[in-house]
Each structure stands twice: as C-alpha cells, then as structure tokens.
Structure 1
Amino acid sequence: MQISFPNEAPEYSGRELKVAFPALVNGELMWCSITAEALEDHFGAASPRLEDMVGAFDAHRPRIEAATRRLLAETSGQCLTLRSGYVRFYEANTRA
C-alpha cells in the first residue's frame, strides 16, 4: 500500500474538535483527522483554540503522519480519526 501526505494546510473544526488533513492512499485522496484531545495529550496543544490546534499539528506533523500511516496500513486504507489512545499505543510500541 502506498501512502503519502500532500503538503496542504490542515483544516480545523471547532465544532467537531478535530484537525483534518489529506492523505493519498494508492493514489486516492482521503481526509484523515486527529482529535483535539490527542493534540493536547501528546503534541502540546494548550487549548482547543484554532491557533493552538493547528500550531501543535504543524509542529508535530511528521509524528502525526507516521501514526496515521501505520493506522491506515492496519485498516487497509480506511478513512480514520487518530484518537489519544491510539497515539499512546503507537508511540509506546515504536519506542520499544
């Protein structure tokens, strides 16, 4: 499975408390997202405000994309949302 991430600006939804970002999976564009909770718990976002969410996403984009790549591979390329628990699991298993 080929997975890449276009260098496009993420989109924040304050209503859903998620930051969405594009992924190309086998040439097909899909939107993935990460929850505000995950950004606060693991990537240093200070609050659910737009500036804090997008700033944390941008500062840690390589780590977020790595976790997304693994989850996409595990779900056969299904659209997904990264949640705090998965990020915790992923990071614990990549450091071991």
Structure 2
Amino acid sequence: MPIGVHIKQQPFNSQTVKINNGDSIYMFSDGYADQFGGPKGKKFKYKQLKELLLKINGLPMQEQKLILNNTILDWRGKNPQIDDIILSGIYFGKETLKIKNNKQ
C-alpha cells in the first residue's frame, strides 16, 4: 500500500511543532521495533527503541548511527532480518536553524 493511503481514507490533520536549537527528530519504519532477537528471541519493541533514542540523544549524529546499527545487529544475532529497517534522525543545531531563518 502506498505511503499516505489508508483503507478508511480519513481526513488528514496538519500538526505544527516548534523546533528549538538542539532538538532532534527521528522518523522510522516498524522494522527496527519488530525485529526478533535478544536472549529470548522476542521483538525489540517501540518502548526499547524510545529508551535507546532518549539515551543517545545529544550525541553526535554519526555516533548515534553507529550505536543504533550495532544495537540492532547485536539484538538480531543470527535471526534473519524480517523487514526493512529505516531510521532517520535530523538534528536542529544553530547552523540548521540559521539556514531556515535566512530563507524566510
């Protein structure tokens, strides 16, 4: 099914979020949280992903990438990857906000 399409086709409500210097936004598919692994062969789950993102927030993005990649590889172990895993993070630092403000 294409992105943005849902069987019920309910109206979309736009949301506005204020972004401050130092904020990060993460977007991801269900693949990371749904990956089986760990000592009991269970799913990683969204709660554990949220805790991990909160723990590594504030680290440089390149370091976060390494931690996220190593964490899911360690979790998965010898289990097959069952779905696509997409996770993207955007850091809004002073330079990012300056570029945005100059375009207004």
What TM-score results when the alignment is normalised by the length of structure 1? Answer: 0.30
For the pair shown, the structure with the greater C-alpha radius of gyration is 2
Q: Which has the higher contact order (CA 8 A, sep 6+)?
A: 2
Of Structure 1 and Structure 2, the greater helix share is in 1
